[in-house]
Structure 1
Amino acid sequence: MTSPQAIADAVGKLAAERDMAARRLGIALVSMAPGGCCLRMTVQPDMVNSHGTCHGGVIFTLADSAFGYACNSFNRNTVAQQCDISFLRPVAVGTELTATAELRSTTGRSSVYDMTVTDATGNMVALFRGLARTVAGETIPGLGGPEPGE
């Protein structure tokens, strides 16, 4: 039987290969865990808004990518059903951002995840909460995997 960590690692590797939006933004996978992950990116000059700070949509994409990797880490096809974000501070060009995702609760096919986005000094710049829904199929067919919350 494949361990939950090995399953999460395999799913994370495949997600990082397939996620063209994340790749385009320079989002890199740092680590995976069952129900969690860590992604990192550096804010580039073409990612700023009219105020000269990182566009909220870019921060949202980083957090949403972490959400996607984490909620699929059990090798069960899972999609976002609802999510929201709170922006806590502006982010300058050149800032390295880290999004950390954690599973909070699972009931049936629904799970709640929290993503924290921090800068390189550990300051929180955004908090993101997502509701995920497990649908039919596996991310990597035949690999198996535990149900979320097991």
Structure 2
Amino acid sequence: MLDADVASRALGIELIEIGEGSATARMRVVPTMVNGHDIAHGGYLFLLADTAFACACNSYGPMTVASGAEVSFVDSARVDDVLVAVAQERTRYGRNGIYDVTVYRETPQGHDVVLEFRGRSRTIQREGG
């Protein structure tokens, strides 16, 4: 799925790890991603979180899409920050799922949380069809 995701690839988003119901993706903030306040535009941060979410909820095989999502911007990101998005499944029920994604900035001192994302998924294609 990610190989066909032109938007994520164009931003340099890399999939670092994937497992059943989980995924980790990484992106470097580049100058074309900042807004008039010289911080990363929230849409790019959302896109990184959404990409990790998409990989996690599609990790089981059937085509699964977002049915909704909400974010909380915790801190700003700046040019050259390396951001990591870690997606974890919270629950799946029927064709639905709930996933949490934490986006953090890698620093020499550790991880600074930039964004928290909660996504709701919906499977639209059954296994094998």
TM-score, scaled to structure 2:
0.94
Is structure 2 residue 67 aligned with structure 1 residue 78?
A: no
Instruction: Give the gaps of 5 or more residues in structure 2.
Output: none
Aligned with residue 48 of structure 1, among 22, 28, 34: 34
1:125 is aligned to 114
Is structure 2 residue 125 aligned with structure 1 residue 136?
A: yes
User: d(CA) in 2 for partners of 1:19 and 1:70?
Assistant: 14
DSSP-derived class of the 1:93 partner? coil
Cα deviation, residue 53, structure 1? 0.4
User: d(CA) in 2 for partners of 1:88 and 1:123?
Assistant: 9
Larger strand share, 1 or 2: 2
Task: Report if the CA contact (8 A) 1:16-1:28 is conserved.
Answer: no
- Which segments of structure 1 move beyond 3 Å, counting only runs of 4 or more? none
Q: Matches of residues 1-150 of structure 1 in structure 2 within 5 Å? A: 15-121=1-107, 122-138=111-127
Cα deviation, residue 16, structure 1? 2.7
The aligned amino acid for 1:43 is: V
DSSP-derived class of the 1:118 partner? strand
Cα deviation, residue 135, structure 1? 1.1
Identity, in percent, stands at: 43
The aligned amino acid for 2:122 is: R
TM-score, scaled to structure 1:
0.81
Larger helix share, 1 or 2: 1
Q: Deviations over 1:69-123 (max 9, x none)?
A: 1100000111100100000011110000000000001111111000000001211
User: d(CA) in 2 for partners of 1:31 and 1:21?
Assistant: 19
User: d(CA) in 1 for partners of 2:97 and 2:59?
Assistant: 12
